[in-house]
Each structure stands twice: as C-alpha cells, then as structure tokens.
Amino acid sequence: MATLKASSLFLNSSISSSSASNSKQRGIIRATINIPNRVNKISLPGLQTRGLMAEELQELHKCTDKPLSPVNVRTTQRNESNGSEYSLVVAKLYAILEAVADRVEMHKNIGDQRNNWNSLLLTSINALTLAAATMAGIAAISGGAPAVAMKLSSTVMYVAATGMLSVVNKIQPSQLAEEQRNAARLFKQLQSQIETTLSIGKPTAFDVKEMMDKVLALDKAYPLPLLGAMLEKFPATVEPAVWWPEQRRKQPRSGNDQCYNGWDGKLEVEMREIINVIRRNDEEDYLRLGGKALKLNKFLAVSGPVLTGLAAVGSALVGSPSHGSWAVVLGVVGGALASVVNAFEHGGQVGMVFEMYRSNAGFFKLMEESIESNLREEDLERRENGEVFEMKVCLQLGRNLSELRDLAAAASVKGEDMDEFASKLF
C-alpha cells in the first residue's frame, strides 16, 4: 500500500508540472503517464511482502521484453546456412550449364568444319588423281617435249595425291565429324538434365559433382584437338564408346511415399532379363558390324595411297622402251582405281559408319551399367524410382510397357535361343 501511495503522489506531481513544459516535454510526460496504465491492466496476485512484489515485477519485466530463446536463435542460423548452401549449389549448376552450352556450340561448329574437310579433300584428291591419269595417257600417245612435260606433271600430281591421301586416311574426316556430332548431341542431353534438375529437383552438392564428372567424361571421350588427343581411328579391337563416368551410389530420395520406391521382385527379374538380351543381341551385333566396317576401312585406307603411288611410278616410266606399255597401264588404270577407292571410302563415309556402330554399342553398354547399378544397390531408397526407371528403359528401347514385359518373359523362357533384339529404334 505504501508503494501504491507513492505512485499516486508521483502522478499528481507530474500532472501539475505539465503546464510549464514545452510541447516536446509534454510528449515525454504522456509517455510516462501511459506506463502505469499498461501495468494497471495486469491483474497481480495479493502481495504480502516487499521482496515478493519485487520478484513479480521482475517477472513482469521479463515477459514484456520477450527475448529470443537460444533454441530459436540457433534454428534461424541453421536455416540461413542451408539457404546459403542451396544458393551456392544452384550457382555452381548454372556455371556448369553455361560451360555445357558453350561446348555444344563448339562441337557443332567443329563438326561442320570437319565435314567440310571431308567434302573438300575428297573433291581435291579425286581431281588431282583424274587429272594425273589423263596427263599420263596423253603423254603415252604424244612425243617430244610435250610428252615429257605431261609425264612430269602427272608424276607430281600422283605424288601429291599420295601424300594427301595418307594424311586424310589417317585422320578420317568423316569419322571426326561423326564424333563431334555425337558430342554435340550428348552435351545437349546433359544440358537438358541440368535444366531439369534446376527446375523441378532439389539440387545438392552430389548433383554438382555428378554433372562435373559427366562433363569431364564427355571431354575425354570426344576430344576437340587433333594432335596428341585424337581418338585411334584403327584400333586393334572394337570396343563400345564410353562417354560417362563411373556409376556412383545415388543419394536416398526424401519424401517418398512408396515403401519400396517402386521396386518389387518382378521388376528386378524383368530388368535382369532385359540386360541379358541387350548384351547378347544388340550390343554384340553392333560390335560385329563395327568390326566389319573397321576392316573395310583399313583395306580402303591402305589401298588408296598404294594405288596412287604405283600410278606415280607408272607415269614416270611412260615412254620407256622396256616398260612403255605396262607403265601406261599402271599410270592410267592405277589413277582411275585410286579415284574409285577414295570416292568409296570418303564419299561413302566408311569411317563415319564405324563410329556410328561404336557409338550405338556404347549406348547399349550405358543402359546395361545403368540397370546393373540400380540392381546392385541394396538400399531401395538410393535407387531411381522403379516405375520411372522402367518407363525410361521403354523409351530408350522404343517399346511400350507391355512390349517390354513380353520381351522379358520371352527371354526368360528361351534363354540364349532368344534372337529378338531389345531395341526397336536401331
């Protein structure tokens, strides 16, 4: 009661002094008057001692300040950290996306350039060869100084054509162009994957690592420079093209309502049968065709320079008393055959056909590894969703779901006698 009386005396003295104060001071006094009004609205229990009243006022002061608890502060900091980490991941993915888009344009432009090389070099070499054969024939039916000039010109042209053919057959421009077309297509595919991850996914540092590995694997599989990094055009054995990194364990999917992530025993058996069909029929067939194309390309690559070289020797011996007739035949027919071989090899783009078969075999090998990596993963949450994965396999093979299941059922019955190909696209 003594404290309340003191408070009333203080209010009366404040009101009496307000008439002598300016407008700024009146604002301060009104604020002072309003504080007890707010406090008076709070119902306090009966107070028996001064110490108890002091404790209650202290508690009231604490409730009015409402300081943040340590738990809330730490939670806010953690959310800000997660947001910063997510922004960093998105920024890295956008940086990779820009690099991939740039590589698409580079491989496209270089592919067009090397395709032009193939056309221009084919035309130039055939023009040189046919002109040299014509001059060798003219030199054989003429005499004197014009015959010598024709013979020398024919020999020089044949030597030039031999050197150019040796270089062109070594680098195989049509195969180089096909490599760059494949690289541009695969980089576009990777670009779409990154855009999809940014649009509907929740990218993490694992996604950044995965995309970086894919970019570097593509760079290694389809190099841009020729000297020192060009792929071997005549390998000893035909192997599928490999443009993907080693399959890694995937992160578990959060928020999955299905307890088995779309997988069951029937789907696993189906995928294993599909792997067997792909490995036994599709991949093996393309490796076999690639081997035949490689042998043909090797034969043509050696035959062209040999024929032009023999034609150069024949044209140089045109008019010789001891080898006159044979020299003319060799100089003219050799040049004509060399033109035919060159036109068939580079006009028919045999090197491109070999690269196409090798790339198709790599496509099926990638499918095998993708299916096997999912089947080897024992944690179902780390696998790709079973229903989505089955649909992807159907699209890659050009089949619908019922056709894919019928193929797996037939493969399980026939086994190695199964002669149907898994893919309907190629």
| Per-residue buried b or exposed e for 21-34, using 16+ beta carbons within 10 Å of the residue's own CB | eeeeeeeeeeeeee
Can you tell me which residue has the tokens 């344009």?
Answer: 105
- Tokens matching residue 304: 């062209």
pLDDT tens digits along 155-197? 999 999 999 999 999 999 999 999 999 999 999 999 999 999 9
What pLDDT score was predicted for residue 15? 40
Burial class of residue 327, CB neighbours in 10 A (0-12, 13-18, 19+): buried
Contact of 418 with 408, CB cutoff 8 Å: no
> In 3-state terms, what secondary structure has residue 198?
helix
- 213, 361, 221, 344: which is closest to 284 by C-alpha? 361
- Tokens matching residue 324: 């006159």
pLDDT tens digits along 43-72? 444 444 444 455 554 554 454 444 444 444
CA distance 106 to 101: 9
Residues 6+ apart with CB under 8 A from 114: 173, 176, 177, 180
Q: Give the pTM.
A: 0.75
Q: Dihedrals φ, ψ of 367, to 5°?
A: -60, -45
DSSP state of 283: I
Average pLDDT, the chain: 82
CA 248 to chain CA centroid, Å, is 16
Name residues of the chain where pLDDT drops below 50.
1-52, 57, 60-61, 63-78, 256-257
Which helix (H) or strand (E) segment holds residue 18: the answer is none
- 288, 255, 241, 251: which is closest to 377 by C-alpha? 251
What pLDDT score was predicted for residue 337? 96
What pLDDT score was predicted for residue 336? 95
CA distance 313 to 366: 50
- Tokens matching residue 47: 């107070």
Q: Which amino acid is at 302?
A: V
- 371, 390, 383: which is closest to 249 by C-alpha? 383
